[in-house]
Amino acid sequence: MSYYKYARKQYDQPKDNLDEVWQERLQKWRREGTIEEVDNPTRIPKARQLGYKAKNGFKIVRVRIRKGGSKRQRPSGGRRPAAAGQNRYSSKKSKQVIAEQKASKKYSNLEVLASYWVAEDGNYRWFEAIMVDPEHPEIQADDDINWITDQNNRAENGKTPAARKTRGLRNKGKGSEKIRPSQNAQGGRAK
């Protein structure tokens, strides 16, 4: 079995397969900040599958996201709307998309290529975002990745694989008419 196949198999059931490494990793990550730069990807096969290369111009960023729904703000002034709910609302964006946007906001000179799940516990979920520097000469010379130099704000504009999944752009053909441009626009979700 090749290294990549073995490493992929480890992440099928990471809690069971990595046991002590998993616990140590989570304890360390809980103490770290929300956005951390990482030397190497935690899941090398997954990163390679999404386009990562171990060369200058690529950067891996680990982002921590709090689990659960989002709390809505109350109106700042005027009357008190009795029926305006605050809790038990979930974001229309996935946690992974929110993580990508956080990374993109912090590293504004880099573009998010893609991201992948690395761990979670009761309170948090961690994702690693693959960031690319479009201005780097090595990136501009690489025909596999230099298309990214023509794109701006990929994470914010919903161009990453996770965002395209959330937006329903993976579905094609009959039955997908009411998914795009958004379920909200098609009347598919309650307002």
The pLDDT of residue 189: 55
Q: Name the class of domain 3-71+86-152.
A: alpha beta
Q: How far apart are CA 182 and CA 188, in angstroms?
A: 8
The pLDDT of residue 78: 77
Contact 107, 86 (CB under 8 A): no
Of 113, 105, 124, 102, residue with least CA distance to 29: 124
- The label of the residue with tokens 């992974």 reads 96
The pLDDT of residue 121: 93
The pLDDT of residue 169: 87
| Ordered mean pLDDT values, 10 residues apiece, the chain (191 residues) | 83 84 94 96 94 96 93 78 79 93 97 96 96 96 94 94 90 82 65 46
Identity of residue 7: A
- The residues spanned by each domain of the chain are 3-71+86-152
pTM of the entire predicted model: 0.86
The pLDDT of residue 177: 80
Determine whether 147 is exposed, middle or buried from the number of CB atoms within 10 Å of its CB (0-12, 13-18, 19+).
exposed
The pLDDT of residue 191: 46
